[in-house]
Amino acid sequence: MSEQGRRGQRPDHGRSGGGRSAAPRAGGNGPRAGGRPPQRRGRRGGEVDPVRTAAADTLEAVATSDAYANLVLPKLLRERGISGRDAAFATELVYGTLRLRGRYDAILARCTNDRPLDQVDPPVLDLLRLGAHQLLGMRVPAHAAVSETVALVRSRVSLGAGGFANAVLRAVSAADLETWLDRLSSEIHDDGARLAAVESHPAWVVRALRSSLRAHGRPATELPELLHADNEPPAVTLVARPGLVSPEEVVAQVDRSLAEDATPGRWAPTALRLPGGDPAALPAVREARAGVQDEGSQLVALALAAAPVEGQEARWLDLCAGPGGKSALLGAIAAERGVHLVANEVAPHRARLVAQSTAALPRESVEVRTGDGRTLGEAEPGAYDRVLVDAPCTGLGALRRRPESRWRRLPEDLPGLTALQRDLLESALAAVRPGGVVAYVTCSPHLAETSAVVADVLRGRDDVTRLDAREALLAATGRDVPGLGDGPDVQLWPHVHGTDAMFLALLRRER
Ligand SMILES: C[S@@+](CC[C@H](N)C(=O)[O-])C[C@H]1O[C@@H](n2cnc3c(N)ncnc32)[C@H](O)[C@@H]1O
- Of the residues 293, 346, 387, 500, which should be mutated to test ligand 1's pocket, given the most ligand atoms within 8 Å of the CB? 346
How far is CA 277 from each of CA 32, 141, 236, rounded to the nearest angstrom?
A: 9, 27, 9
List pLDDT tens digits, range 473-490: 999 999 989 999 899 999
Instruction: Please determine, for residue 89, whether its predicted confidence score (pLDDT) is greater than 50.
Output: yes
pLDDT averaged over the chain? 91
pLDDT of residue 260: 87
Topology of domain 295-509, CATH? Rossmann fold (3.40.50)
Strand partners, 316: 341, 386
Ligand 1 in reach of 397 Cβ (< 6 A): no
- Burial call 477-504: b when 16+ CB within 10 Å, e when fewer: beeebeebeeebbbbbbbbbbbbbbbbb
Rounded CA-CA distance 28/232 in Å is 7
pLDDT of residue 44: 62
Which residue has a Cα nearest atom 11 of ligand 1? 320
At 46, the pLDDT band (50, 70, 90 cuts) reads low
| Residue 320 CA to ligand 1 centre (angstroms) | 4
Is 324 marked as binding a ligand?
A: yes
Ligand 1 in reach of 324 Cβ (< 6 A): yes
Q: What is the set of active-site residues? A: 443
Pick among 1.10.357, 1.10.10, 3.30.70, 3.40.1000: CATH of 236-292 = 3.30.70
| Residue 321 CA to ligand 1 centre (angstroms) | 5
pLDDT of residue 278: 84
At 258, the pLDDT band (50, 70, 90 cuts) reads confident
List pLDDT tens digits, range 349-407: 999 999 999 999 999 999 999 999 999 999 999 999 999 999 999 999 999 999 999 99
- Ligand 1 atom nearest the C-alpha of 374 is 19
| Residue 317 CA to ligand 1 centre (angstroms) | 13
Instruction: Please determine, for residue 246, whether its predicted confidence score (pLDDT) is greater than 90.
Output: yes
* Phi, psi (rounded to 5 degrees) for 4: -60, -45
Ligand 1 in reach of 297 Cβ (< 6 A): yes
Give the mean pLDDT of 251-272: 92
Ligand 1 in reach of 346 Cβ (< 6 A): yes
Rounded CA-CA distance 493/226 in Å is 8
| Residue 153 CA to ligand 1 centre (angstroms) | 40
Instruction: Please determine, for residue 130, whether its predicted confidence score (pLDDT) is greater than 70.
Output: yes
- Ligand 1 atom nearest the C-alpha of 347 is 25
* CATH 3.40.50.150 segments of the chain: 295-509
Give the mean pLDDT of 176-197: 97
Ligand 1 in reach of 419 Cβ (< 6 A): no
Ligand 1 in reach of 167 Cβ (< 6 A): no
List pLDDT tens digits, range 61-85: 999 999 999 999 999 999 999 999 9
Give the mean pLDDT of 106-113: 97
pLDDT of residue 275: 86
Percent with pLDDT over 90 in the chain: 86
At 259, the pLDDT band (50, 70, 90 cuts) reads confident
What DSSP element (H or E) covers 438? strand 432-442
Ligand 1 in reach of 154 Cβ (< 6 A): no
Is 111 marked as binding a ligand?
A: no
Using DSSP bridges, classify how beta strands 432-442 and 503-509 pair: parallel, antiparallel or unpaired.
antiparallel
- Of the residues 299, 304, 319, 320, which should be mutated to test ligand 1's pocket, given the most ligand atoms within 8 Å of the CB? 320
Instruction: Please determine, for residue 431, whether its predicted confidence score (pLDDT) is greater than 60.
Output: yes
pLDDT of residue 22: 30
Residues 6+ apart with CB under 8 A from 474: 480, 481
Give the mean pLDDT of 158-171: 98
Nearest Cα neighbor of 496 from 195, 212, 200 is 212
pLDDT of residue 47: 80
- Ligand 1 atom nearest the C-alpha of 326 is 8
pLDDT of residue 426: 98
Percent with pLDDT over 70 in the chain: 91
Ligand 1 in reach of 321 Cβ (< 6 A): yes
Residues 6+ apart with CB under 8 A from 399: 201, 205, 230, 405, 406
Is 114 marked as binding a ligand?
A: no
Give the angle subtended at the CA of 77 by the CAs of 409 and 141, to the nearest 5°.
Answer: 85
Q: Does domain 22-175 have CATH number 1.10.940.10?
A: yes
Give the mean pLDDT of 206-221: 96
* CATH 1.10.940.10 segments of the chain: 22-175
Top-confidence residue, 2 or 270: 270
Is 137 marked as binding a ligand?
A: no
| Residue 97 CA to ligand 1 centre (angstroms) | 29
| Residue 44 CA to ligand 1 centre (angstroms) | 50
Read off the DSSP letter of residue 21: B
Instruction: Please determine, for residue 45, whether its predicted confidence score (pLDDT) is greater than 90.
Output: no
